[in-house]
A and B are shown apart, each in its own frame.
Chain A
């Protein structure tokens, strides 16, 4: 079971990467108390010019830059599970492959804008506001591939054979709920204050908690599946009858 062993290594990178993500999240001074879009230009410039903030902004975003693509192995592990499902075509695993690079890549664009704002904090205040807006809008609206992959996974589970499900049904409903929780973030530009602003309840807290919950839940269920596969694979007759081509 060489393949499963390799998968286990990738699986166990996730808790490590998650700890780094959480650390970077709290290290960035604009997340713990999310920056409001209604801050004045002077306040935004002061945020980046504050010596206590500057290092934290840079180091947190460098950490994100290093480790944001660490999500991709999780998505590939999901693709491998979808390939085990009783589907007639590889369409849904291709759909998930097509989504996998998009989320981290868009996040890295936001990361670059934050680092740009912090690179020359003495520059024209209006330019700092512009980079800050670009960073927050890119970060907040970076949901299309996350929504899509949750829905594709839910559909994949629905189309799987009911008596030999690779993922249990509740995971499909969980993914639909996560997709729904991410939708308000797409419309964050419509409000500069209140629950729909980029620091508000829906686009910030609900969205980010939903993403975190998705990563945790999917990591656990993928881990269970990989360990189950591993134990089944040790039985000689199981090796003769793989679940799917």
Chain B
């Protein structure tokens, strides 16, 4: 890094400024993770709502014929939409990495970030990709036996809605880290918001039992209330992570480990979380 890194690029076109930040911004790794997360959620919303119509979820009490009709009606949307998800689902990793990084800045054991990172990394399989695979298989052959299509439909929506433990324990791990932290990396109220998110995983459990009503997988509580809480929670953690990145002060010092130790104060500061 040169002295130019201290001068924010205010002149030039937006593309020039983006290019400057890609080359010189000392926080570019963090901003990469943050923007990837924002872009992923936008694409996720577009795919799951208007493209595949997998959200809001259709009814669990539908007959075989109605389910077969749903697959036939959404054939292209499901296959194109989930094709997009199969392409970009790995973009969930930077979000988990950034959240784990936030815990590395806290005065808590490394057990917390590593637990969260592993737990949420695997969550994409039962909580996202199984739904995409199973509904894609349903859409692949709309002429399949409707009873089998119904099994795929149940499998998809129940695996998506009913994968609770990972998100429950993961949210509680993040909450505990925030509440124990003395470095004030995240505000305490956000710690308690994690508890709200964890509780949504409790109230979706009846989706495994009820076929209709507020606790069904598309019910008022199990889907709508949960979705509102999840939306608020996601918005809040994106803002909190953005604040975290803004507060980070890497300065324009040398990169970690590239100078001799007596002169490496800036590097030491920058490298405290590099482990």
Shortest CB distance B236–A (Å): 21
A168 within 8 A of B: no
8 Å CB contact of B32 from A91, A99, A143, A145: A91
Q: How far is the CA of A102 from the CA of B271 in the complex (A)?
A: 28
Query: Which partner residue on chain B sits nearest A89 by CB separation?
Result: B29
A62 within 8 A of B: no
B90 within 8 A of A: yes
Q: Which residues of B contact A96 (CB under 8 A)?
A: 93
Q: Which residues of B contact A101 (CB under 8 A)?
A: 118, 121-122
Q: Which residues of B contact A190 (CB under 8 A)?
A: 76, 79-80, 83
Shortest CB distance B207–A (Å): 22
B117 touches A94 (CB 8 A): yes
Q: Which residues of A contact B139 (CB under 8 A)?
A: 189
Looking at B59-67, B98-106, B174-182, B213-221, the stretch in contact with chain A turns out to be B98-106
A144 touches B117 (CB 8 A): no
Interface residues of A in 123-139 (CB under 8 A from B): 126-127, 129-130, 133-134, 137-138
Q: Which residues of A contact B148 (CB under 8 A)?
A: 126-127, 130
Query: Which partner residue on chain A sits nearest B128 by CB separation?
Result: A144
Query: Which partner residue on chain B sits nearest A138 by CB separation?
Result: B133
Check A92/B122 contact, CB under 8 A, given A86-B258, A137-B133. Answer: no
A86 touches B256 (CB 8 A): yes
Shortest CB distance A111–B (Å): 14
B26 within 8 A of A: yes
Q: How far is the CA of A126 from the CA of B152 in the complex (A)?
A: 13
B255 touches A88 (CB 8 A): yes
B173 within 8 A of A: no
8 Å CB contact of B134 from A94, A95, A134: A134
Q: How far is the CA of A161 from the CA of B2 in the complex (A)?
A: 12
Q: How far is the CA of A89 from the CA of B249 in the complex (A)?
A: 12
Q: 1/0 contact trace for A210-245 toward B, CB 8 Å?
A: 000000000000000000000000000000011111
A90 within 8 A of B: yes
Check A144/B129 contact, CB under 8 A, given A86-B255, A102-B90, A105-B122. Answer: yes
A130 touches B144 (CB 8 A): yes
Q: Which residues of B contact A114 (CB under 8 A)?
A: none
Q: Which residues of A contact B108 (CB under 8 A)?
A: none
A94 touches B100 (CB 8 A): yes
Q: Which residues of A contact B258 (CB under 8 A)?
A: 86, 161, 164, 243
SS of B interface (majority): helix
Q: How far is the CA of A186 from the CA of B29 in the complex (A)?
A: 27
Category for how many chain A residues contact B: 35 or more
Q: Which residues of A contact B271 (CB under 8 A)?
A: 88, 245
A106 within 8 A of B: yes
Q: Which residues of A contact B104 (CB under 8 A)?
A: 90
B97 within 8 A of A: yes
B255 touches A91 (CB 8 A): no
Shortest CB distance A9–B (Å): 24
8 Å CB contact of B29 from A92, A126, A145: A92
Looking at A13-21, A45-53, A146-154, the stretch in contact with chain B turns out to be A146-154
Interface residues of A in 175-193 (CB under 8 A from B): 183, 185-190, 192
Q: Which residues of B contact A145 (CB under 8 A)?
A: 89-90, 93
B29 touches A244 (CB 8 A): no
8 Å CB contact of B28 from A99, A143, A149, A159: A159
B86 within 8 A of A: yes
8 Å CB contact of B87 from A89, A95, A152, A186: A186
Q: Which residues of A contact B30 (CB under 8 A)?
A: 89, 91
Q: How far is the CA of A130 from the CA of B132 in the complex (A)?
A: 15
Q: Which residues of A contact B97 (CB under 8 A)?
A: 90-92, 94-95, 97-98
B93 touches A99 (CB 8 A): yes
Query: Which partner residue on chain A sits nearest B268 by CB separation?
Result: A245
B10 within 8 A of A: no
A11 within 8 A of B: no
B137 within 8 A of A: yes
B125 within 8 A of A: yes
Q: How far is the CA of A215 from the CA of B145 in the complex (A)?
A: 40
Q: How far is the CA of A87 from the CA of B270 in the complex (A)?
A: 10
A37 within 8 A of B: yes
Check A244/B275 contact, CB under 8 A, given A91-B98, A101-B121, A102-B121. Answer: no
A141 within 8 A of B: yes
Q: Which residues of B contact A137 (CB under 8 A)?
A: 133, 136-137, 140
A155 within 8 A of B: yes
Chosen A-B contacts, 5 in total, with CB atoms closer than 8 Å, are: A37-B140, A89-B30, A92-B97, A98-B97, A138-B133
Residue positions of B touching A, CB distance < 8 A? 26-30, 32-33, 76, 78-80, 82-94, 96-98, 100-101, 104, 117-118, 120-122, 124-125, 129-130, 132-134, 136-137, 139-141, 144-145, 148, 152, 250, 255-258, 260, 270-271, 273-275
